[in-house]
Amino acid sequence: MPNPFHLAIPVTCLTKARAFYGELLGCRQGRSASQWIDWDFFGHQLVTHCVAAMPSAPSYNAVDAQAVPVPHFGVVLDMADWQQLADRLESKGTEFIIKPYVRFAGQPGEQATLFFADPFGNALEFKAFADMAQLFAT
């Protein structure tokens, strides 16, 4: 695996963060303290830091006729893992910002994608490529 990224995000309740990142997404919890939790986020280090109030709401950019929230973060999965996650999220009644679909169909960079928010409003995107060589296609 290439070098994992480290990302710290705000949350307002660590109990809800445990339910979302640990139980729903299946991330393994690492170190923690009274104000933060480290997560194994698909091989990367995600830290949820408890804050009194969330920062301002995201903006949106048009991508493939969809309103994509900015900022957002996520992971590129292989197609089978992406489909399994999409199915699990749908079965749990997840409210999607952008429902699972294939973006840029038939074009360079074709990808499966989905967007949803954590309980605190942080936007997440999970995507997959049938051909990983298309990850940086132009």
- Looking at the structure of the chain, the number of domains it has is 2
Q: Is residue 17 domain-shared with residue 76, that is, in the same domain?
A: no
**Angle at the Cα of 38 from the Cα atoms of 33 and 43, rounded to 5 degrees:** 165
What's the Rg (C-alpha) of the chain? 15
Domain around 120: 60-134
Note whether residue 1 is domain-resident: no
pLDDT at res. 137: 85
Note whether residue 35 is domain-resident: yes
Q: What average pLDDT does the segment 71-84 reach?
A: 96
Distance CA 138, CA 119 (A): 34
Q: What average pLDDT does the segment 76-100 reach?
A: 97
Note whether residue 22 is domain-resident: yes
Q: State pTM to two decimals.
A: 0.92
Note whether residue 55 is domain-resident: no
CATH of the domain at 33: 3.10.180.10
Q: Is residue 43 domain-shared with residue 66, that is, in the same domain?
A: no
